[in-house]
A and B are shown apart, each in its own frame.
Chain A
Amino acid sequence: EVQLVESGGDLVQPGGSLRLSCAASGFTFSEYAMNWVRQAPGKGLEWVSTSGSGAGYAYYADSVKGRFTISRDNSKNTLYLQMNSLRAEDTAVYYCSKDTRGIPDYWGQGTLVTVSS
């Protein structure tokens, strides 16, 4: 059974940093691209970033480019999102998802990031 468990969400001040983690199990983690997708309170879904299955492939939405860094540790079956220079508009539930041929087919339960002073 595929399981994705996010952690690391917290209340942080504007300009601060946070690192999210997503622990994966139930599939061969190294063979799949992985995504971060976020959802602001009461809003829709927004793609944030994708880590390709191969080394060095990382993609970002324009809204987070230069501030967020996606990475993965295939030995630990874990996906990360390092978020720097956080803004109020980054407040959201952040989901990680497994990517099968461009389709986010399994999702974690999400972790809440709140950016506020």
Chain B
Amino acid sequence: EIVLTQSPATLSLSPGERATLSCRASQSVSSYLAWYQQKSGQAPRLLIYDASNRATGIPARFSGSGSGTDFTLTISSLEPEDFAVYYCQQRSNWPRGTFGQGTKLEIK
């Protein structure tokens, strides 16, 4: 099983600041990595797929990078609605796609 480890577990920042979230895979997943945002009481929403492609309707302040085992989600300037939990997910061994444990982005 491919294990995804996200860091940090919690990130405390202020609106307008830049957020950098990390996801590390236990083995190479090529570029088959996605990022999701989940707000309290809501379903996950796809932000980024295949490491760096924004999903439909996702603002340009969200960007993804990386390949192999190390990936980053960057939010260039935080808006109040961006504070949520973020998950990475790999599809390298579809359908057994695994998720990271999540990073909580909270208001400082």
Contacts and interface: CB of A to CB of B under 8 A. Distances in A.
A103 B97 CA distance: 9
B34 A103 contact: yes
Contacts of B55: 105
A50 B89 contact: no
A105 B50 CA distance: 12
Q: Which size bracket describes the interface of A in this complex?
A: 20 to 34
Interface residues of B, number: 23
A37 to B, nearest CB: 8
A15 interface: no
B90 to A, nearest CB: 9
Contact of B102 (A44, A107, A108): A44
A79 interface: no
B100 interface: yes
Nearest to A59: B95
Contacts, number: 55
B17 to A, nearest CB: 25
B107 to A, nearest CB: 20
A107 B89 CA distance: 14
A46 interface: yes
Interface of B: 32, 34, 36, 42-46, 49-50, 55, 87, 89, 91, 94-102
28 contacts: A44-B99, A44-B101, A44-B102, A45-B36, A45-B44, A45-B99, A45-B102, A47-B95, A47-B96, A47-B99, A50-B94, A50-B95, A59-B95, A61-B96, A95-B43, A101-B91, A102-B32, A102-B91, A102-B94, A103-B91, A104-B44, A104-B46, A104-B89, A104-B97, A105-B49, A107-B44, A107-B45, A109-B43
